[in-house]
Chain A
Amino acid sequence: MSTSPAAGAARWAASDPNRVRLKDLRTEEMVLNMGPQHPSTHGVLRLEVVTDGEIVIDVIPHLGYLHRCFEKHAESLTYPQVIPYVDRMDYLAAMNNELAWAVAVERLLGIEEDIHPRVQYIRVLMAELNRIASHLVSIGTFGQDAGAVTPFLWCFRDREHILNLFEWASGARLLYNYIWIGGLMHDLPVGFEERCREFVQYFRPRVRELNDLLTYNTIFVERTANVGVLPLEVAINYGCSGPMLRGSGLRWDLRRDDPYLVYPDLEFDVCVGRGEVGTPGDCWNRYKVRAEEIEQSLRIIEQCLDQLQRGVARRTADFDPQKLCPPRVVPPRGAEVYARFENPRGELGFYILSDGTEKPFRVKARSPSFSNLSVLPEISRGAMLADLIVILGSVDIVLGEVDR
């Protein structure tokens, strides 16, 4: 039905061979394997590239080098025990993943509405800080893919401040296990809000500097504008989400359009690719959406800090972040939920099926990078080989999440 049987046995039988057979190629075509170890794949991904000189004829992604079957693990763990595994899916935005898992299970239990406002604001604060950190990595490595080394160093310098804040709050720099089902591991440490405000003050000018350095840089624009154009209907049909979809011009953000937590109370703009440079849907516009989202995240963080310091979510003596954390998480038998959340890379969805025990019956993670990557062959056919690197960088995949 799918693969045709090969005759005989090979001396070294590769477990994941090329799909293109040499005998099907024309004389001038060549198969080039990019990866699994290649700096531009941001992890272990193999792209089987059929080239004609420097023109890309076809790309066939081979995934799974980082596969650890998260879904199988989740079936043998209790709901709270899954959180550290969720962290390791999109390891650049672990807070967002935890938030997604926690809210999905709360929705399954029917306690989503009862969460204390302070818990909700802290969650949103953490998620937005992590969104900035994740976009900084994305922008930095994208610049490096296009040949600019300085932005990478600047981005990592600023990301370090966010990681220090996370370390202060949760004890870990990358994989936090901070957001729990029904609450949080701890309240914020005393002085966190003030330090966070200092960070926002420090960081605002840095965003402008970064824009001066990279965004309108002629060399960068030449490399990225009008490259890898993703038309909107193709993006929707392939299930692209997040900056990929917004870069193509659809004003679509789950924080606004399918809101969760306190996002309806917060003010922010949904950034879209407007084709200011290049065409909507090209690499530059995808990049620009991420750069603008950093500023919107800063706006959200300031509003959260207002609420956390003086508003409905201010610190009180009797606040217990674990008050609603159930001692045993047992959703009713037959309950199922598909909950989706706006991660830095797009729509992260969890489909959870419960059989009335402490462990989920089936968990399916719909990770944004997985669907975003599937459109890569479509937008890189006919591009130059060097542009393929830029296109892959603009898709911004995290292989931990593609392979799960």
Chain B
Amino acid sequence: MATVYEIRDWIVERFGPEGVRELQLERVIPPALVIDPARLREICRFLRDDPRLYFDQLMCLSGVDYGPERDQVAVVYHLHSTVHDHQIALKVIVSRSENLEPVVNKLEYTRIGPDGEPIPNAEPPEAPEADFGEERVEYVTEYLPAVDTVSDIWRTAEWHEREAYDLVGIAFRGHPDLRRILTCDDWPGHPLRKDYVWPEYYHGIRVAY
């Protein structure tokens, strides 16, 4: 069982002092290491494969949006070793508004009326047989903060990264199948962003409650 100080020292020894940016101990359970986003994959691979550490289980992967004022998003990895029975949290903090990466997302939904014009905030017609025109869904490129994927290191991450992309709006570079997982494919925006605004209508259904 290694302490968090030892784990920090081993990472620093291997990846240099810039590998670990901060050690968060105060009121943080389990203790967290803020690491360099550029070396995330190397550090994760080291943590998993090193015999002193052997973090074979990714318990949880969470995306966190700190809001527009702080202008940061974070991905938090909670690791655990079934062999040595120690835990640690890794944090990767990236800018929310800089170095964004394009992601093609099925996003924009419009209903085209019989006259060929889009209907804003369309509600379904009263009579079921009334012609309500066509639905149209378009693929739109979004620009999102991006973090490297760890889904090939721990397969748990595959779905959790999809969830973080879906709800928090963080892209994962190199993810094999980055689709929305919990919300619909054409849901507008990412609900757990702090500046998220609920859509008024979705497919002609009132969302507000």
> Contact residues of A with B, CB < 8 Å?
1-6, 9-13, 15-17, 19, 63-64, 67, 69, 71-72, 75, 107-108, 234, 236-239, 250, 252, 257, 332, 334-340, 347, 349, 351, 353, 362, 364, 366, 370-371, 374-375, 403-404
Subset of 30 A-B contacts with CB under 8 Å: A1-B101, A1-B171, A1-B178, A2-B177, A3-B104, A5-B104, A10-B137, A11-B134, A11-B135, A12-B135, A13-B136, A15-B137, A15-B184, A15-B185, A19-B179, A64-B183, A72-B191, A234-B155, A237-B154, A237-B155, A239-B59, A250-B82, A252-B82, A334-B27, A335-B27, A336-B32, A351-B62, A353-B64, A362-B62, A371-B160
Question: Which A residue sits closest to B186, measured CB to CB?
Answer: A15
Contact (Cβ within 8 A) A336 B29: yes
Contacts of A403 in B (CB 8 A): 182
Contact (Cβ within 8 A) B181 A64: yes
Contacts of B56 in A (CB 8 A): 236-237
- Shortest distance between the CB of B81 and any CB in chain A (Å): 10
B57 within 8 A of A: yes
- Shortest distance between the CB of A138 and any CB in chain B (Å): 22
Contact (Cβ within 8 A) B192 A9: no
Contact (Cβ within 8 A) B181 A63: yes
Question: Which A residue sits closest to B177, measured CB to CB?
Answer: A2
Contact (Cβ within 8 A) A374 B104: no
Question: Which B residue sits closest to A366, measured CB to CB?
Answer: B60
Contact (Cβ within 8 A) B182 A67: yes
A107 to B30, alpha carbons, bound, how many Å? 11
Question: Which A residue sits closest to B62, measured CB to CB?
Answer: A364
Question: Which B residue sits closest to A17, measured CB to CB?
Answer: B185
Contact (Cβ within 8 A) A1 B102: yes
Contacts of B76 in A (CB 8 A): 351
**CB within 8 Å for A72 and B178 given contacts A15-B203, A338-B29, A351-B76:** no
Contact (Cβ within 8 A) A351 B167: no
Interface size counted on chain B using CB atoms at 8 A? 56
For the complex of A and B, the 9 pairs showing the least CB-CB separation, nearest first, are A239-B156, A364-B62, A2-B178, A15-B184, A366-B60, A13-B137, A9-B136, A5-B139, A335-B27
B159 within 8 A of A: yes
**CB within 8 Å for A236 and B27 given contacts A1-B101, A362-B192:** no
Question: Which B residue sits closest to A62, measured CB to CB?
Answer: B181
- Shortest distance between the CB of A334 and any CB in chain B (Å): 6
A11 to B184, alpha carbons, bound, how many Å? 18
B28 within 8 A of A: yes
B49 within 8 A of A: no
A153 to B85, alpha carbons, bound, how many Å? 41
Contacts of A72 in B (CB 8 A): 167, 191-192
Question: Which A residue sits closest to B187, measured CB to CB?
Answer: A15
Contacts of B59 in A (CB 8 A): 239, 338, 340, 347, 349, 366
Question: Which B residue sits closest to A374, measured CB to CB?
Answer: B159
Which of A1, A12, A72 gathers the greatest number of chain B CB atoms within 10 Å? A1
Contact (Cβ within 8 A) A9 B134: yes
Contacts of A250 in B (CB 8 A): 82
Contacts of B175 in A (CB 8 A): 2
Contact (Cβ within 8 A) B137 A257: no
Contact (Cβ within 8 A) A338 B60: yes
- Shortest distance between the CB of A347 and any CB in chain B (Å): 7
Extra A-B contacts (10), CB below 8 Å, given A3-B105, A334-B26, A349-B78: A9-B134, A19-B179, A64-B181, A64-B182, A237-B56, A238-B156, A338-B59, A338-B89, A364-B60, A374-B159
Which of A3, A17, A63 gathers the greatest number of chain B CB atoms within 10 Å? A3
A10 to B135, alpha carbons, bound, how many Å? 7
**CB within 8 Å for A239 and B154 given contacts A339-B29, A351-B78:** yes
- Shortest distance between the CB of B112 and any CB in chain A (Å): 8
Contact (Cβ within 8 A) A1 B28: no
- Shortest distance between the CB of A81 and any CB in chain B (Å): 17
A10 to B32, alpha carbons, bound, how many Å? 48
Contacts of B187 in A (CB 8 A): 15
Contact of A336 among B27, B85, B102 (CB under 8 A): B27
- Shortest distance between the CB of A358 and any CB in chain B (Å): 17
